[in-house]
Amino acid sequence: MCLAIPARVIEINEGEGLVELAGVVREVSFMLLPDARVGDYVLLHAGYALQKVDEAEAEETIRLLAEIAEVGRSHA
């Protein structure tokens, strides 16, 4: 099963750049999404930005993922 996670673009330079999710910054490739811009939310999988997503949808997904993680911690 594959999982793509939304992250906010904070820097782009010649097809590569940085995204941020919950304070974690990752280096990613934008070669599959050349129209991405700083401030966009993108779906991130295996180091590649795959598609742009709506900011509200991205934030809701991030909230749900955090909630799932919290439930997992409370049951450990």
Domain positions in the chain? 5-74
11-49 pLDDT, tens per residue?
Answer: 999 999 999 988 999 999 999 999 999 999 999 999 999
46-64 pLDDT, tens per residue?
Answer: 999 999 999 999 999 889 9
Among 21, 6, 13, 60, which Cα is nearest to 37's? 13
Give this prediction's pTM: 0.85
- Count Cβ atoms within 10 A of the Cβ of residue 47 and give its class: 0-12 exposed, 13-18 middle, 19 or more buried: exposed
Overall fold of domain 5-74 = SH3 type barrels. (2.30.30)
